[in-house]
Structure 1
Amino acid sequence: MSRHGAAAEATRLDRRLMALNEARELAAGAFPEDVLDSVLQVLERAGSRRSLSADHTVVGFFGATGSGKSSLFNAVSGEEIATAAARRPTTSEPLAGIWGTEGSEELLDWLEVRNRHHASPVPGFADEGTGLILLDLPDFDSTRAANRKIVERMVGLVDVLVWVLDPQKYADAAVHNGFLAPLASHGAVTLVVLNQIDRLPDRDIPPVLDSLKGILARDGLGKVQVIGASAVVGTGMDKVRAAIRQVATQRQAQSQRLGADVTRASARLAEASGQGAAAGVKAASKSRLAGELAAAANVPLVVDAVVRSYRLESARRTGWPVTRWLVRFRPDPLRRLNLRREGARPDVNRTSLPPAGAPERARTDAAVREFADAASDGAPGPWRAVIRGAAREGRDRLPDALDQAIESTELKAGSTAWWWTPFNIVHWLALLTALGGFAWLGVLAALGYFQLPVPEVPLVQGWPVPTVMIAGGALFGIVLAILAKFIAGAAARARGSAARKRLKAAVAAVAENLVVEPVELEVSRLASFNTALQAAARQ
């Protein structure tokens, strides 16, 4: 493939790696650390590999003891780079055959391959400018733990994986379950060679190859190229070299390998997450939460105190002047709740509202839980737990926050009403009129008592003016007091309604800050995670 195609593949890989890293960061705290660490290893490995030679394709030869892996390596290389031995293990350290030396040293240092051989050109396969590294690796079934670790590490590092099997152990569960099946997503950079077919009768070769292909298909590698070969007699060697040369000249193996790693890592994240999206926060759920918290925070009690306080103050300001002083002996409901203070600091002061008891706490917990359940509906298990956890964290701070919210809400308890002053003036005029009538009659009575001339008292509709003044002042005062009581009741209800709105708004703000926003953040995190994961998994 052209360099343009390789560049496009690399650009696509860039986007997938960025998306995978974003998904990993978003999943922090929601998934087990071992899952996130495995993804981080993929990202770090990809970053390291891409910083090294892009002109070299690293091909690793993997196989079990006795599979003829080293012999195949030599046959492909065209010279005796590896010394095949009959005893186990046949290979104890990785051995590199190198075509194209420039840039290979740093790459081999990263691979931790010390044994290096600059191979001679092989016509039609590799020359000095090819940019190819073949690795002969230890047997994956070696009894030495160090050898097995080398193989496991190299499986995650090489660009192309060549699995060398033999007719006797090609169905061995150790290689299929331990290596091939877990790497099903790496089919594009995997080649399977059935070596030593010279030991089979010609008629048995096709059935054995078909059997191997069937097993690979069950491993998820049904599209992997399978080649029958014999390193001893040279059968199929041209096909093996051609397959390796094709991936080397296309210069896509590195990106394809890393892309397969991203696919595998994405699948692991998807498995840890599960499928689904959260329903999210709805307006109705927010309203229910605010309503329940308002009830638990004694908002109805405060509203009732506002109404009664206004009525009490109205009676003190507009009641019958002779008896209104008695109102002063009735305690102000808002003062009893410590909600009617001038210059109070809500961050320091607290209300005297009844502390939340078991019923109120249960109501608060139930409201928060119901809200979180509704918002997390449809989310997969780990994310549902994260969303509910965010709601629970805010729930523990609700009592103090709600108390401060009520304390800081402007109830307008100290503000006067416009109608108090005119009513008060008229009340005093009515009282003064009645007192004037009493004084007039008193003067007349005193004059009569002292046998002094008593002036003629003017009449109104046959009634003496002083009597009219007394009766009219008293009657007008009573009517005015009754009217003031009705007006005060209506105004108190209006003021209570306004206070209820402000208190509920304050409670809703607390709920928004401590419960709604954290939940919305986690819901948004899940949505972003799903988007990033889809982008990372998109091949």
Structure 2
Amino acid sequence: MSRHAATRETSQLDRRLEALNSATELAAGVLPEETLASVLQVLDRASSRRLLSGDHTVVGFFGATGSGKSSLFNAVNGEEIATAAVRRPTTTEPLAGIWGVQGSDALLDWLEVRKRHAAAPIKGFADDDTGLILLDLPDFDSTRAANREIVQRMVGLVDVLVWVLDPQKYADAAVHNDFLAPLSSHGAVTIVVLNQVDRLPEHEVRPVLESLTAILARDGLGKVQVLGASAVLGTGVDKVRAAIRQVAMQRRAMSQRLAADVSQAATRLAEASGLPSGGAAAGGGAAEGATAAGGGAAAGATAAAKARLAGELAVAANVPLVVDAVARSYRLEATRRTGWPVTRWLARFRPDPLRRLNLRREGAKPALNRTSLPPAGAPEQARTDAAVREFADAASAGAPGPWRAAIRGAAREGSDRLPDALDQAIASTELSAGKKSWWWGGFNVVQSLALVTALAGFAWLGFLAALGYLQLPVPEVPRVQGWPVPTVMIAGGVLLGIVLAIGARFISGAAAASRSAVARKRLTAAVAAVAGELVVAPVEREVGRLAKFTASLKAAAGRQ
């Protein structure tokens, strides 16, 4: 591989690891802790491996008891390094055959391999410049728990996995279900060797290899190399060496292994998220199918959903009651200022609806006030809960299960603060309760003139009556169309006052409707602001987090 290609592959792996880390951080608190912990282990292993020798390719030999794994290991090494099964039942500790000892110590320390052997150069296979480490590992079906733990750990650490199977147990469910199938995304760094083919009749070797290939295809490893070999006779050993040499000389095994680990971790996150999966191919898995299909996107907070939420919360917070109080308060004040002066004083005995709700506080600081609106009862609380739940359901539509729950939970974060926040929002809204209308002054002046006219007429008639009572000469009263002027003054003043009062009533009704409409708009905006802070913003935060998670997962799967 050219230096340019290696740099490009390293850069791509950097981006995928960074994306996987971002996806893991974004999923904190949403996905199960054990899932996140397993992904973090992948990230830690990748970080540690990349800090160690990149010039060495670590190849692990895995197999069951009796598969001839150690014998094949010796045959590939060209010398008896490991103790074969005829002299010891199982391998109990990892053993390394090394070509290129320089620079390998730190890597082997990380692998926790104490037994190390500097292997002799083998022409056409490996020498000190090859940078190759072969590991003979304990049997994965060992009865010793410590041995099984070593195998499980090494499965996650080595660059290349060589699975050594034998003709009797090559279809064993333990190796396929526990190891091969879970590593289906690692086909590029997996070699399967059917050892001990010398125990099979020659005509059965090919059918057995084809059977093994079919089983591996069902495990998701349809493109993996499947080789037949006999460590005893040396049959096929050169092919095993050639396969190992090929991956070692390309210097891509470490990157391919880590890339496969990232794909597997992305798949694990996708499955835990409940993202739709499909077409799980090697190197991609469910995460690729999910993200490529565009699944897992939440509907989000639409304008219509926000408006409906604000409307429902406004009703639950008694905004209609306040709007009605604004209209009644205005009409009452208009009556006090423009009504018939003879009866308008009666309006002063009627309480101001806004003052009763503690919403008419000249000079008070709204932020420090609370209303006297009825406290939220069971119906109002139920309406609030239903509105929040409906909004969360609409916003989370399309989101996978755990994220849908997270979005719904975010919508309920501020539920306890909603009643008080809504009350304060209403108390802080400018309702123009003390604002006078321009026409009040004119009506009041005319009403006063009408009253003065009527009173003057009464005074005139009273003066004339007093003169008659005292037997004094009574002067002739001017007439208009035959009607005495004092009488006209009284009738005209009273009639004008009543007409003005009725007219003012109609005008104040229209003005009250206009002012209440403005109040409704302001109150709804105030309620919407509270809903935006306590309900919408947390929901949009979670929806945005899901979008970032999905994008990061797509990048981690190598699809971006």
Task: Verify same fold: TM over 0.5.
Answer: yes
Whole-Å separation in 2 of the counterparts to 1:476 and 1:143 = 112
- 8 Å contact 1:277–1:378 — kept in the other structure? yes
Partner residue, 1:108: 108
Whole-Å separation in 1 of the counterparts to 2:458 and 2:485 = 11
What are the superposed Cα offsets for residues 216-267 of structure 1, whole Å, 9 maximum, x if unpaired?
Answer: 1121111111111122221111111111111011111011101111111111
- Out of 462, 470, 477, the position equivalent to 1:442 is 462
Partner residue, 1:357: 377
Whole-Å separation in 1 of the counterparts to 2:72 and 2:137 = 12
What are the superposed Cα offsets for residues 261-320 of structure 1, whole Å, 9 maximum, x if unpaired?
Answer: 111111111111123322222222222211111111111111111111111111111112
Q: CA deviation at 1:186?
A: 0.5
Partner residue, 1:496: 516
Partner residue, 1:406: 426
Structure 1 range deviating more: 330-339 or 389-398: 389-398
TM-score calculated relative to the size of structure 2: 0.93
What are the superposed Cα offsets for residues 458-500 of structure 1, whole Å, 9 maximum, x if unpaired?
Answer: 3333333322222221121111111111111111111111111
Paired amino acid for 2:539: V
Whole-Å separation in 1 of the counterparts to 2:102 and 2:7 = 20
Q: CA deviation at 1:80?
A: 2.4
Q: CA deviation at 1:5?
A: 2.2
Paired residue secondary structure (1:277): coil
Q: CA deviation at 1:453?
A: 4.4
- 8 Å contact 2:66–2:85 — kept in the other structure? no
Partner residue, 2:266: 266
- 8 Å contact 1:189–1:257 — kept in the other structure? yes
What are the superposed Cα offsets for residues 15-35 of structure 1, whole Å, 9 maximum, x if unpaired?
Answer: 111111121112111111111
Q: CA deviation at 1:188?
A: 0.4
Paired residue secondary structure (2:192): strand
Whole-Å separation in 1 of the counterparts to 2:5 and 2:37 = 32
Partner residue, 1:240: 240
Partner residue, 1:227: 227
Paired residue secondary structure (2:60): strand
Partner residue, 1:468: 488
Partner residue, 2:526: 506
Paired amino acid for 1:205: V
What are the superposed Cα offsets for residues 305-349 of structure 1, whole Å, 9 maximum, x if unpaired?
Answer: 111111111111111222222111111111111111123344432
| Gapped regions of structure 1 (runs ≥ 5) | none
Q: CA deviation at 1:209?
A: 1.4
- 8 Å contact 2:310–2:524 — kept in the other structure? yes
Q: CA deviation at 1:13?
A: 1.3
Kindly indicate whether residue 91 of structure 2 is the aligned counterpart of residue 71 of structure 1: no
Whole-Å separation in 2 of the counterparts to 1:459 and 1:173 = 124
Partner residue, 2:538: 518
Structure 1 range deviating more: 46-55 or 194-203: 194-203
Whole-Å separation in 2 of the counterparts to 1:357 and 1:236 = 83
- 8 Å contact 1:6–1:250 — kept in the other structure? no
Partner residue, 2:160: 160
Whole-Å separation in 2 of the counterparts to 1:324 and 1:411 = 24
Paired amino acid for 1:247: V
Whole-Å separation in 2 of the counterparts to 1:384 and 1:404 = 31
Kindly indicate whether residue 324 of structure 2 is the aligned counterpart of residue 304 of structure 1: yes
Partner residue, 2:2: 2
Partner residue, 2:285: none
Partner residue, 2:336: 316
Partner residue, 1:129: 129
- 8 Å contact 1:319–1:481 — kept in the other structure? yes
Whole-Å separation in 1 of the counterparts to 2:447 and 2:137 = 108
Partner residue, 2:209: 209
Whole-Å separation in 1 of the counterparts to 2:169 and 2:316 = 72
Whole-Å separation in 2 of the counterparts to 1:277 and 1:88 = 57
| Gapped regions of structure 2 (runs ≥ 5) | 277-295
- 8 Å contact 1:266–1:536 — kept in the other structure? yes
Partner residue, 2:287: none
Whole-Å separation in 1 of the counterparts to 2:526 and 2:2 = 65
Structure 1 range deviating more: 80-89 or 171-180: 80-89
- Equivalent residue pairs, number: 539
What are the superposed Cα offsets for residues 142-200 of structure 1, whole Å, 9 maximum, x if unpaired?
Answer: 11111110010000000000111122222222211111111111110000111122222
- 8 Å contact 2:337–2:440 — kept in the other structure? yes
- Out of 356, 365, 370, the position equivalent to 2:390 is 370
TM-score calculated relative to the size of structure 1: 0.96
Structure 1 range deviating more: 358-367 or 153-162: 358-367
Structure 1 range deviating more: 153-162 or 350-359: 350-359
Paired residue secondary structure (1:419): helix
Partner residue, 1:144: 144
Kindly indicate whether residue 80 of structure 2 is the aligned counterpart of residue 80 of structure 1: yes
- 8 Å contact 2:16–2:556 — kept in the other structure? yes
- 8 Å contact 1:61–1:162 — kept in the other structure? yes
Paired residue secondary structure (2:438): coil
